[in-house]
């Protein structure tokens, strides 16, 4: 009998007993226990206090080898810029070392609860961006490494990053540890809250206007307001006004600003422009008339990010009939840095048909609201993601926060991470595991301090290697 033909008892209706089919993709009735009970039972196999452990593998690469290995396949001449950015601070090193941390997390406990994870959920990868109606949304905003993986890995990366950001800001050790502790506590409480809500309400819960009160982050209000004001002006129009000029034929062209922005040869520009045809096919059809009202004017190469430096990334200038710009980013999508380490914790990963599609689908699974022009394409055989550039984006610099704001920011990002995970993993399951007590908060905070110490040692090793000439770095770019 096929799965769709299996019949299960339904609740008795007034018209009498009837049976309904089990439909793939929907929950089955009955079962061997509630998700909350299953999650709670996992504590016997993986005690929550065990998450404080950090045992580094004997074959762990040193900092220089880790950076060099993660740079393979990138644009070689940009490697010194990436090294220079990672060598700036220990927090910057962590931002560029998602793969190295995944290597280290293999030796830590996992519950085997699968979720769509960011893969790089450090504290600087949360921020504001614009929705389709001009409003601002706050959420996770970087998904280059997204995969189906252990939810604990995202939580631990966030917690460790908060300790490093606090140390960089000059906060004392108690404040740094408290920020990590509060982030995990907010994650746990938010997951439990979502587990108690009706599913539809939970899916869109913690509206942005309620986020500050939900996480008791009132000390952060002034900073968020300043970031929001700046984000509203961070648009394609402003970028185009600074980065382009009108050429002799009346068309607008990007202006070279090496090494961050540079013109590309005509053939390269044509290949990128032509790839937007395939990109259109990845968008809902109702977006096609919108983009049909723009004309492609120019393409340039632009260096982005810290961990992303060296990936191929283009900006494409489009103008409407009034000359108003829309800038798209066409960014190379490399395999997730976490991929080699998932098998070691028995996480089977589905075959990826296109890395750009992986990034886009992961982003849409984790965000409440996503860029309505998010898609993917292929240029010269390489996969790319496509998105709006400067879509009113703004971010809090966690390494510049005052001591009384760092724990607020930790609670806010912890809550956002829980909301993102709850879109793919049942919050009753994770919430059942996390429980009411602060055991998980204490354990992950202890891990975060230990991993921050290790990251500082890795960073010092990279800085020494730069000074000794073992690896080239271009600082301040």
User: For the chain, what is the HEC assignment?
Assistant: CCHHHCEEECCCECCECCEEECCCCCCCCCCCCCHHHHHHHHHHHCCHHHHHCCCCCCCCCCHHHHHHHHCCCCCHHHHHHHHHHHCCCHHHHHHCCHHHHHHHHCCCCCCCCEEEECCCCCHHHEEEEECCCCCEEEEECCCCCCEEEEHHHHHHHHHHHHHHHHHHHCCCHHHHHHHHHHHHHHHHHHHHHHHHCCHHHHHCCCCHHHHHHHCCCHHHHHHHHHHHHHHHCCCHHHHHHHHEEECCCCCEEECCECCCEEECCHHHHHHHHHHHHHHHHCCCHHHHHHHHCCEEEEEEEECCCCCCECECEEEEEEECCCCCEEEEEEEECCCCCCHHHHHHHCCCCCCCCCHHHHHHHHHHHHCCCCCCCCEEEEECCEEEEEEECCCCCECCCHHHCCHHHHHHHHHHHHHHHHHHHCCCCCHHHHHHHHCCCCHHHHHHHHHHHHHHHHHHHHHHHHHHHHHCCCCCCCCCC
> Which tens digits make up the pLDDT trace of 139-150?
999 999 999 999
* Length of the chain, in residues: 477
Which tops the pLDDT comparison, 133 or 243?
243
Candidate from 4-18, 193-207, 340-354 with smallest mean pLDDT: 4-18
What pLDDT is attached to residue 204? 86
pLDDT at 294 over 50: yes
| Alpha-carbon span 321 to 315, nearest angstrom | 20
Which tops the pLDDT comparison, 135 or 283?
283
Q: Phi and psi dihedrals of 295, rounded to 5?
A: -115, 135
pLDDT at 10 over 50: no
> Which tens digits make up the pLDDT trace of 162-203?
999 999 999 999 999 999 999 999 999 999 999 999 999 998
Pair 366, 420: CB distance under 8 Å? yes
End-to-end alpha-carbon separation of the chain, Å? 64
Pair 432, 36: CB distance under 8 Å? yes
Pair 430, 151: CB distance under 8 Å? yes
Residue 28: CA count within 13 A, CB half-sphere: 11
Pair 141, 129: CB distance under 8 Å? yes
**Among candidates 109, 269, 197, 274, which has minimal Cα distance to 428?**
197
What pLDDT is attached to residue 380? 97
Judged on CB neighbours under 10 Å (0-12, 13-18, 19+), 205 is buried
Q: What percent of the chain is predicted at pLDDT more than 70?
A: 95
pLDDT at 244 over 50: yes
| Alpha-carbon span 443 to 198, nearest angstrom | 30
pLDDT band at 7 (very low <50, low <70, confident <90, very high): very low
Average pLDDT, stretch 401-410? 96
| Alpha-carbon span 250 to 11, nearest angstrom | 71
Return the structure tokens found at 5: 């033909």
What pLDDT is attached to residue 29? 59
pLDDT at 6 over 90: no
Place of tokens 């001591």: 403
Place of tokens 């983009």: 291
Tell me the average pLDDT of the chain: 92
Pair 336, 358: CB distance under 8 Å? yes
pLDDT band at 1 (very low <50, low <70, confident <90, very high): very low
Other CB atoms within a 10 A radius of the CB of residue 255 amount to 13
| Alpha-carbon span 23 to 212, nearest angstrom | 40
What pLDDT is attached to residue 306? 79
What pLDDT is attached to residue 4? 38
Place of tokens 């919050």: 427
What pLDDT is attached to residue 31? 57
Average pLDDT, stretch 237-262? 92
Other CB atoms within a 10 A radius of the CB of residue 146 amount to 25
Return the structure tokens found at 20: 């309904």
pLDDT at 18 over 70: no
pLDDT at 9 over 60: no
What pLDDT is attached to residue 23? 78
Pair 147, 105: CB distance under 8 Å? no
Average pLDDT, stretch 258-276? 96
Candidate from 8-17, 342-351, 392-401, 421-430 with smallest mean pLDDT: 8-17
């Amino acid at each position: 009998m096929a799965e769709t033909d299996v019949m299960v008892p339904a609740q008795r209706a007034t018209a009498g007993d009837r049976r309904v089919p089990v439909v793939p993709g929907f929950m089955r009735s009955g079962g061997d226990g509630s998700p909350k009970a299953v999650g709670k039972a996992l504590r016997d196999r993986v005690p929550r206090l065990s998450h404080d452990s950090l045992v580094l593998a004997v074959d762990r690469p040193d900092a220089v080898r880790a950076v060099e290995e993660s740079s393979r396949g990138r644009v070689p001449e940009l490697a010194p810029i990436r090294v220079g950015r990672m060598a700036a601070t220990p927090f910057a090193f962590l931002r560029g070392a998602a793969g190295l941390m995944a290597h280290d997390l293999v030796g830590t406990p996992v519950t085997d609860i699968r979720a769509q994870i960011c893969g790089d959920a450090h504290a600087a990868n949360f921020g504001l961006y614009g929705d389709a109606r001009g409003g601002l949304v706050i959420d996770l905003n970087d998904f280059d490494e997204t995969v189906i993986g252990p939810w604990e890995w995202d939580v631990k990366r966030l917690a460790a990053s908060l300790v490093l950001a606090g140390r960089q800001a000059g906060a004392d050790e108690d404040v740094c540890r408290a920020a990590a502790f509060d982030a995990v506590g907010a994650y746990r409480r938010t997951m439990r809250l979502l587990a108690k809500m009706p599913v539809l309400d939970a899916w869109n819960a913690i509206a942005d206007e309620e986020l500050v009160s939900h996480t008791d982050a009132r000390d952060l209000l002034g900073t968020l307001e300043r970031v929001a004001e700046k984000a509203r002006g961070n648009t394609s129009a402003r970028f185009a006004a600074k980065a382009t000029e009108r050429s002799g034929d009346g068309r607008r062209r990007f202006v070279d600003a090496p090494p961050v922005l540079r013109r590309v040869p005509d053939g390269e520009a044509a290949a990128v422009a032509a790839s937007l045809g395939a990109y259109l096919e990845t968008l809902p059809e109702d977006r096609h008339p919108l983009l049909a009202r723009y004309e492609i004017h120019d393409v340039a190469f632009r260096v982005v990010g810290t961990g992303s430096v060296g990936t191929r990334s283009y900006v494409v200038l489009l103008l409407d009939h009034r000359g108003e710009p829309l800038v798209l980013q066409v960014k190379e999508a490399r395999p997730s840095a976490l991929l080699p380490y998932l098998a070691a914790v028995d996480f089977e990963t589905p075959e990826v048909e296109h890395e750009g599609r992986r990034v886009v689908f992961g982003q849409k699974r984790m965000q409440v609201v996503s860029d309505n022009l998010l898609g993917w394409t292929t240029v010269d055989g390489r996969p790319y993601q496509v998105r709006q550039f400067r879509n009113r984006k703004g971010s809090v610099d966690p390494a510049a926060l005052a001591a009384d704001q760092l724990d607020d920011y930790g609670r806010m990002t912890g809550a956002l991470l829980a909301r993102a995970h709850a879109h793919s993993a049942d919050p009753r399951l994770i919430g059942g595991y996390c429980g009411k007590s602060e055991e998980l908060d204490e354990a992950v905070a202890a891990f975060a301090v230990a991993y921050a110490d290790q990251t500082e040692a890795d960073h010092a090793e990279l800085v020494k290697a730069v000074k000794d000439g073992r690896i080239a770095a271009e600082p301040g770019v």
